[in-house]
Amino acid sequence: MSDIQIRKLEKSDAAIYRDIRLEMLKKEPLSFGSSFQDTFKEPLKFFEGRIKNAPLFGAFSNGELVAVAGYFRHQGEKVAHKANIWGVYVKPHFRGQRLSQTLIQKGLDECNSKAEQVLINVSAKNEAAIKIYKSLGFEEFSREPKARKANDIYFDEISMVKFL
């Protein structure tokens, strides 16, 4: 991981973020709530808004965005103590280098002074992600049967929490 740089994405990264977002939705359709077809239609401004409103950390290798993870804090008096980690993805060639853990930890560090608990949702079929989230201290607290449907396949979604 010595040639990997980790940083927050900026508005100027919107085009490369769009590219990796479309890749993740196309290659891993059961792992994300958004669809490739819907996201493909979105203009670049949509991705600029995502970066602005729900900050993302990226891992870069030789200038290429190879992994991402986002976080956001809930708004409103009664839920401001909660945050979410979302959109975690590592390009296949870069898996096994602890990039997802590093990016999630960056999000947790950002949330730590602002939130008391962090939530993450994951497909019940994504055993690798569940293992990573558990290694970071997340615990399962609910399971929604048939939460998502893609390519005529239903899958359950697990909700996990980490108390800070």
Distance CA 99, CA 23 (A): 17
Domain boundaries, the chain: 4-163
Q: What is the pLDDT along the chain (164 residues), one digit of tens a residue?
A: 568 999 999 999 999 999 999 999 999 888 888 999 999 999 999 999 999 988 899 999 999 999 999 999 999 999 999 999 999 999 999 999 999 999 999 999 988 778 999 999 999 999 999 999 999 999 999 999 999 888 888 999 999 999 99
The CATH class given to the 4-163 domain equals alpha beta
**Residue 141: partners with Cβ closer than 8 Å, 6 or more residues away:** 159, 160, 161
- Torsion angles phi and psi, residue 112, rounded to 5: -55, -40
pTM: 0.92
